[in-house]
Chain A
Amino acid sequence: MNELSAVALAIAWTQALVALALVLQTLELLWLWRFWSDAGIWRYAVLAPEHRLLGPPLRGLCALSLPARSFGVLLCVRLLAALALGAGYSSGLGPLLLFTQVAICVRFRGTFNGGSDTFSVVLLTGLTLAQLFPGSLLAQKAALLYIAVQLSLTYFISGMAKLQHADWRSGRALANFLGSGRYGTPAGLVRVFSGPLRLSLVSWLVLVFECCFPLAWSGPRTCLAFIGLGLCFHLGTWLLFGLNRFVFAWAAAYPALYWCSQWIH
């Protein structure tokens, strides 16, 4: 496979997986319309005064797109755009989806689902770059590189941040998260991950995996191994903590990482 085909294939896979992640996210938000409507929790009337902090142009954009009815339309447009992206259409969809992603984050005062929203912005920024310059091989490569670097940083920074806490190194932090009730961890899994030895072992497995993730760049085979471990890791975080959006958002970045591991050699 020549370089051009490899880049095109990586972009196509990224687009398809991003589309899947966005469709699922949007359907969830549409399902929750009652909670962001004018009789819900995130009422526009309560949120609007805060949008003044963004300055006049952005405030105007918020007033246009974030009231309950407009926001519903925005989500429907996003759903259609994500479906079109998944079907292989790409021209102009990246910037549109990026705009809707940022609008959703502003609507929920920063993010609706934390890291998965932020990482969706990263994915869509990369795709926007690739779609704005469809004839430029350099832009396609830069898009894949940007996504892969950010993907590696998510694991590495997260791992390093955990490593500095003695509670993470001893396994106590994991025990606290599992037992806090905040994530609704099934009681059976809490029992499986009980005991200082098991907790410490699992914590260290997570720390080593996250801190060593940049090694995925060292070659395609190593990269595939890390991608496999990453999928297991995200399925584990869904089982333990219910973070389903992370599975799809992070999986969408793996084709870019795999292409980079080939390209760098």
Chain B
Amino acid sequence: MVGGREHTHFLRRCLTDCGSRVGRLHKPRGRITKWVVRRAALAARARGFPREAEESPLAARVWHPDAVPELLSRPFPLVLLALLSIGLLVWLPRRVVPARGLALLRCLLPSWRFFEQLEPLPLLEYRVAPEGQDWGGWQEVTQAPRRTPASLFANAAGNLHFACQSLIEHLVVELDDAADEARGASELVSYRLVCAWIELELGSAGQATPALRYQFRLSARDAAPEPLFVSGAHGVA
């Protein structure tokens, strides 16, 4: 039971803090006191909630709905906390979730980890053999085009080169997956796209004839003697 000077102090706080949880923290007992508190609350609400926030306990201020704008008015601690959380998440080890359907829609799931892959991309090379003849030497499929000032605005060749490099990345990943799943490499979409790429290169070089055979390989850029992968022989479609 609240009484005497404490009671007066309590009523004053109800008048100033009514609507907040301060009123509820000091639960009044007795019918008359409850009625006084209710009247005081109504009167204070009619006056537009004058408040003495510094008198409220911390928990009441934090969890009160009117405390949210106060919290948002000082967003830097929140931003700092969010950045620290994100930084921690970035540093945690990642697990690759194989989901090919989602991979097609990965533009909707950004990761923003640019230039993080430090291992050099394998080199894609091909060689050809006209009918009845031996294989020629291995040659690189494509090289990055030269940079010009105009390529700031229109860099079709450069961006095609990057897309082809991504194709090699996909091939490496899919070959690994195929080995795990005991699938044939030639069934892979990346494999078939690389075949189409080489045939296009052969066509551009004027070499594509129906009797021509070709094969490609992936090898490490550090001139390791063994290639990482060698394809079967294919005829030009």
**Are A161 and B107 within 8 A (Cβ)?**
no
Name the distance in Å between B111's Cβ and chain A's nearest Cβ.
8
**Are A28 and B155 within 8 A (Cβ)?**
yes
Name the distance in Å between A165's Cβ and chain B's nearest Cβ.
6
Q: Which of these, A113, A115, A176, A245, contacts B112 with CB under 8 Å?
A: A115
Binary per-residue interface labels of chain B (84-109) against chain A in the complex, 1 for a CB within 8 Å, 0 otherwise: 00110011000000001101111110
B60 proximal to A (CB < 8 A): no
Residue of B nearest to A244 (CB): B155
B121 proximal to A (CB < 8 A): yes
Binary per-residue interface labels of chain B (151-189) against chain A in the complex, 1 for a CB within 8 Å, 0 otherwise: 111111011111111110010000000000000000001
**Are A40 and B196 within 8 A (Cβ)?**
yes
A77 proximal to B (CB < 8 A): no
Contacts of A16 in B (CB 8 A): none
B49 proximal to A (CB < 8 A): no
Residue of A nearest to B201 (CB): A41
A154 proximal to B (CB < 8 A): yes
**Are A112 and B163 within 8 A (Cβ)?**
yes
B interface, by DSSP: helix, strand, loop or mixed? helix
Give the complex CA separation of A101 and B87 in angstroms: 29
Q: Which of B176-209 contact A (CB under 8 A)?
A: 189, 192-193, 196-197, 200
Name the distance in Å between B198's Cβ and chain A's nearest Cβ.
9
Q: Which of A50-92 contact B (CB under 8 A)?
A: 50-51, 53-55
Number of A residues near B (Cβ < 8 Å) is 69
A114 proximal to B (CB < 8 A): yes
Residue from the set B108, B110, B120, B189 with the largest chain A CB neighbour count within 10 Å: B110
Q: Which of these, A106, A114, A180, A238, contacts B105 with CB under 8 Å?
A: A106
**Are B189 and A50 within 8 A (Cβ)?**
yes
B143 proximal to A (CB < 8 A): yes
B31 proximal to A (CB < 8 A): no
B118 proximal to A (CB < 8 A): yes
- With A46-B192, A157-B112, A173-B115 as known contacts, state yes or no: A111 contacts B156, CB within 8 Å: no
Name the distance in Å between B138's Cβ and chain A's nearest Cβ.
16
Q: Which of these, B112, B158, B164, contacts A153 with CB under 8 Å?
A: B112
**Are A110 and B106 within 8 A (Cβ)?**
yes
**Are B115 and A177 within 8 A (Cβ)?**
yes
Give the complex CA separation of A154 and B116 in angstroms: 13
- With A51-B104, A102-B107, A244-B158 as known contacts, state yes or no: A158 contacts B114, CB within 8 Å: yes
**Are B193 and A161 within 8 A (Cβ)?**
no
Contacts of B144 in A (CB 8 A): 181-184, 242
- With A53-B100, A184-B144, A214-B79 as known contacts, state yes or no: A41 contacts B108, CB within 8 Å: no
Give the complex CA separation of A114 and B170 in angstroms: 13
**Are B189 and A113 within 8 A (Cβ)?**
no
Q: Which of these, A49, A114, A160, contacts B166 with CB under 8 Å?
A: A114
**Are B193 and A41 within 8 A (Cβ)?**
yes
- With A183-B144, A184-B145 as known contacts, state yes or no: A154 contacts B112, CB within 8 Å: yes
B57 proximal to A (CB < 8 A): no
B5 proximal to A (CB < 8 A): no
B50 proximal to A (CB < 8 A): no
Binary per-residue interface labels of chain B (106-134) against chain A in the complex, 1 for a CB within 8 Å, 0 otherwise: 11101111111010110000000000000
Q: Which of these, B101, B108, B164, contacts A54 with CB under 8 Å?
A: B101
**Are B143 and A164 within 8 A (Cβ)?**
no
Residues of B within 8 A of A (CB): 75-76, 79, 83, 86-87, 90-91, 100-101, 103-108, 110-116, 118, 120-121, 143-147, 151-156, 158-167, 170, 189, 192-193, 196-197, 200, 221
Other A-B pairs beyond A46-B189, A101-B107, A244-B158, 5, CB < 8 Å? A41-B167, A50-B189, A102-B107, A160-B86, A244-B151
CB-based closest 5 A-B pairs: A184-B144, A53-B101, A105-B107, A157-B112, A160-B90
